[in-house]
Chain A
Amino acid sequence: MPSSTHSDQPLAIDVRGIRRVYNVKPKPVVALDGVDLQVAPGEFFGLLGPNGAGKTTLIKILTTLLLPSEGSARIFGFDVEHQTKQIRRIMNMVAGGEQSGYGILTLREQLWMFSQFYGLPSRDGWNRVDELIAAVGMQDQAQQRVSTLSTGQRQRMNFARGLLNDPWIFFLDEPTLGLDVAAARAVRELVVAWKAAVPGRTVLLTTHYMQEADELCDRIAIVDHGRILALGTPDELKKRVQQESVFRLELDRLDGGVGALRKLPGVVNAALAAGDQADGKGERQTVEVNLSLVDDAALGGVVGALGGLGAHILALRKSEPSLEDVFVELVGRGFGDETDDGDRKDRDDVGPSGDEANVIDSTDEARERESEVVA
């Protein structure tokens, strides 16, 4: 986590102790519960969490649409509460499923209208609109009424709108929601290309698509119930779930059994793969072993030792955890499972989250469970 940037430039996003409570009936809803977050200029930062986790609330606060109940937030040094005009000049946002605009206008006219809101001279506005329409590949729809665009086309139009003012920071709230695979990929490529065009451009992406976050983000915060449960690069987060290097080996034979492997230096654990309980005998011609090592370097010693045991490696595959594994370990459920109030209460009873202690507890538990499987 960057505490400061390489120069004196302020952080792109600096969130301190943000809490947001919605006073709705029958009881207030805590959407954000003490969030701290720092994003450096130039980062592609992801907020990963299920529906209702507080991602959109945080984006609304950062885009000056909502005030925090407690805490403070700054965008490139500008306070979201009091320096809204400055922030609005350097940011833009796109949300998934966005239906904004005026159906009576054509795509080109709609974008031009928004260009005027950002102060582009009229002629420049039309030129800029044409450039962006080309960039999002919608030349054929330029004169088509907005009300007749498909979901994917609308979202591309929204991206063109979001880029009209050359934002320094781009907020993307579930931008690929409802898009097909090709359209989602096109959108992702567009964002990556836009960001790469100028150093220092920053993106905050909220999503619940693990692969999207994994592919795009330099760092990711996993949020749930208004708290940050874990934060780090995708690799760091995965390591929290699985600290050892795990390999699956397929051998032609293993005369000494897995016990022989456990004695080797650097081996944390070794077990026959599930469903392969014949222990090298019986009808099966091969043996599959799950091997847990202290790190990747220990693999060389194991391979050498296997030769000594008379075994030949037929296949070797490294087991990588996914972000979904990370999420399930941290949150205790998948994205498809919504919680009810009872779950919320249980979680609230855990105490203040978003701190290292909880993360470590969760990952320790995860490791224990992993070990059980391996053993």
Chain B
Amino acid sequence: MTAPGRNAFVYRPTASPQAAATWTPRQIAMTNLRTVVGRAYPRVRGMLREKSWVFFEILLPFLATSAFVFVYRALQAPPQYIGFVVLGGAMTAFWLNVIWMMAQQLWWEKSQGNLELYFAAPMHIMAVLFGMAFGGFIMSSTRAAAVLVIATLVYGVSFAIDQWALLLLVFFLTLAALYGLGMMLASLFLMWGREAWHLTQLLIEPVYFVSGLNFPVARLGALGSVAISILPLAVGLDAMRQLAFADAAYPVGTPSPAIEAGILVVMVVAFIGLSRWTLAVLERRARQEGRLSVRWQ
């Protein structure tokens, strides 16, 4: 190693350890904000560095969505149902991102040996989760937008939107609630090993079904109502379908988009609050049981 200058070893001189340990609220906030950017960075870099995702995350999902379009075509369904499938196909990008790149992520970080470094650093672990969400969001937004645009053009979907503001609000609330749920799952999975991996698998197709991925969730009756009250994907998709196809006859039985937006607000607060609480509780439990650095579970 070369002889380092003094700067390398003295970056931010502090009078004492006590002074260094005392942070202002601004310092705390800025550290957490920078953590969000820092943790999002590898995700974005990864996207730019290995471009195979363009094929696997955009083209192939478009084809998968197309399969359901052809199911409706085979059944000679009304045209708005093609639109329902396309919208559902676009929104699955976010749910898959929440499952694959958030819910399991703390467990993965543990497997990689990163988790103990996160917990030994001064930022809030929620900031790390926000960073993962933000980084993943960029990729899934690209996928969602691509599926939406390409499928709309190829299959001639026509949207009829009267309330743009509400639609955008519902969209962003859905994302916030989805990623909030992802954070909660991530904190729960902090304690688990392979269970986490397998249980996230369980959250894909069954959630698609009860959320009405390719059909109006109202058709599920009571099951649909339950889904609307607990699953962001179900309530968000339903509200967006109502708003994006305002001219189409839409099955009754679900709340209006405004009410569903309210449900989403409650979900956002609840999921983020719960994830914060579960993280605190489970971090303590993990420290008690020595699980923050146990690998290969």
Residue positions of A touching B, CB distance < 8 A: 9, 12, 22-23, 41, 60, 63-67, 76-78, 85-93, 98-102, 104-105, 109, 112-122, 125, 128, 131-132, 134-137, 156, 161, 163-166, 168-169, 186, 189-190, 193-194, 197-198, 200
Contacts and interface: CB of A to CB of B under 8 A. Distances in A.
B122 A118 contact: yes
19 contacts: A22-B290, A41-B17, A60-B293, A78-B21, A87-B21, A99-B112, A114-B38, A116-B34, A117-B34, A117-B39, A119-B30, A122-B37, A131-B5, A131-B7, A135-B1, A161-B117, A169-B17, A189-B1, A198-B10
A303 B40 CA distance: 74
Given A109-B45, A135-B1, A63 B120 contact: yes
Contacts, number: 167
A104 B1 contact: no
A135 B45 contact: no
Given A98-B113, A99-B113, A86 B21 contact: yes
Interface of B: 1-2, 4-14, 16-18, 20-23, 27, 30-31, 34-35, 37-39, 41-42, 45-46, 49-50, 112-114, 116-123, 128, 284, 287-290, 292-293
Contacts of B1: 135-137, 156, 186, 189-190
B50 A104 contact: yes
A-B residue pairs, 3 tightest by C-beta: A116-B38, A119-B31, A135-B4
Nearest to A103: B112
Q: What secondary structure prevails in chain A residues at the interface with B?
A: mixed
Contacts of A134: 2, 4-5, 8
A163 B11 CA distance: 9
A89 B124 CA distance: 12
Contact of B45 (A65, A104, A131, A168): A104
Given A134-B4, A197-B10, A76 B122 contact: no
Contacts of B116: 60, 63, 65, 100
A164 B42 CA distance: 18
Given A65-B116, A119-B34, A119-B123, A60 B290 contact: yes
B121 A65 contact: no
Contacts of B5: 131, 134-135
Contacts of B27: 119
A135 to B, nearest CB: 3
